Amino acid sequence: MIDKNLLLENYKKHFGDEEPRFFTAPGRINIIGEHTDYNGGFVLPGAVDKAITMAIKPNGTEYVNLISVDHDDAALFFRIGGPQPKEQWASYFYGVIEEMRERGAKVGGFNAVFGGDVPLGAGMSSSAALECCIGTALNTLFDLHFTREELAKIGQMTEHHYIGVRCGIMDQFASLFGQKGHVVRLDCRSLEYQLVPFKPKGIEIVLIDTMVKHLLASSEYNVRRAQCEEGVAVIKKYLPNVELLRDVTIEELEAHRDEIDPMSFRRCAFVINENKRLMDACAAMEKGDFVEVGKLVYATHEGLSQEYGVSCPELDFIVDIAKTHESVLGARMMGGGFGGCVIALVKKEGVADYIADVKEKYQLKFDKDPRVIEVEISDGAREI
């Protein structure tokens, strides 16, 4: 988490000696269940100890004044109800406010300084962390009475309407509902969830960032979603109750293979199989069988790379190295794809060797250093 004192120092520099309040919202990891959320399936994320944090105070006007310490103290202001800012980072604020106003909320102007330590481009959902931090802060400061579920939807719709990414709700939900020592098994259709204890003995979560920024992720994400919807449309002609891929079995998909574009068929098959892998992983976790969880995690990467087509050479390379280490139970790309990081479940005694091996071989192969990110499962959005 970014130092509160740094935010306070910047706040007083720009807005005077008034005392702001502080809010934070975390990024997330996802153990298994990738690209299932917008298909109404299941996911298994956890909030982490990397977060967006904000110093904020209402200013009694209709203007929002922002300072981003992550963009060299860039300053920007806009009027509530006015045109959308051109800068994407400010559009998150604008979008959350507009989504709240659409729901009848009265949001006033405010001054805010924000920053964070969620690694950008690593598939840890820095954008959702920002949306949830904004939403939690405004909900509290202006006494808006939105539930956490409603705040998650507000963040999701901000992405849809103001950023142009048709994301699911996993990232926002994890950022808001996360709890230390637990992962969240979320049904993305009903939004029913269960906090599942996640304390594997002798096993650590290791994130290795390829340092490849997933520039294709937003556009290709929308393509994948459209391909899944195409498959559903075909099945729905025969099974009218089908609304999402969540409702389709692999047998039902196979029965109509000839009517579905081959690429769309592969995308749909991955999602259906991924939902099953997640349920199998949850069952294995309940038994404490993390060897089986690791096998399922490896299978997820294979599907993401070969069937869903969202990996890249750098991600595949790091996963391939993992397979040569007996201490690594499972590894896969995490997030939208085309870059970002690999998440691995590693026995503690083998963590240092795995990291050293990846660093050496990755540098030789790609002439760049990967970034190792240490994370702990943490609490969700809150005032601090």
List residues with catalytic annotation: 171
Dmax (CA) for the chain in angstroms is 68
Distance CA 209, CA 371 (A): 5
CB atoms within 10 A of CB 192: 9
Closest CA to 45 of 133, 114, 128: 128
What lies within 8 Å, CB to CB, of 64 at 6+ separation is 77, 78, 79, 80, 93, 94, 97, 109, 110, 112
Distance CA 10, CA 273 (A): 49
CB atoms within 10 A of CB 88: 11
Q: DSSP letter for 177, please.
A: H
CB atoms within 10 A of CB 269: 21
Distance CA 99, CA 163 (A): 13
What lies within 8 Å, CB to CB, of 45 at 6+ separation is 28, 29, 30, 31, 33, 170, 171, 173, 174, 178, 183, 184, 186
Q: From residue 72, how far is each of 69, 122, 154, 328 by CA, in Å?
A: 5, 21, 28, 39
Closest CA to 111 of 16, 2, 25, 24: 16
| Residue 169 identity | I
At residue 297, the 3 state secondary structure works out as: helix
What lies within 8 Å, CB to CB, of 374 at 6+ separation is 206, 207
Q: Nearest-5° angle of CA 297, CA 301, CA 303?
A: 115
294 burial level (CB within 10 Å; 0-12, 13-18, 19+): buried
Q: What are phi and psi of 149, to 5 degrees?
A: -65, -40
175: its two tokens: 């950022």
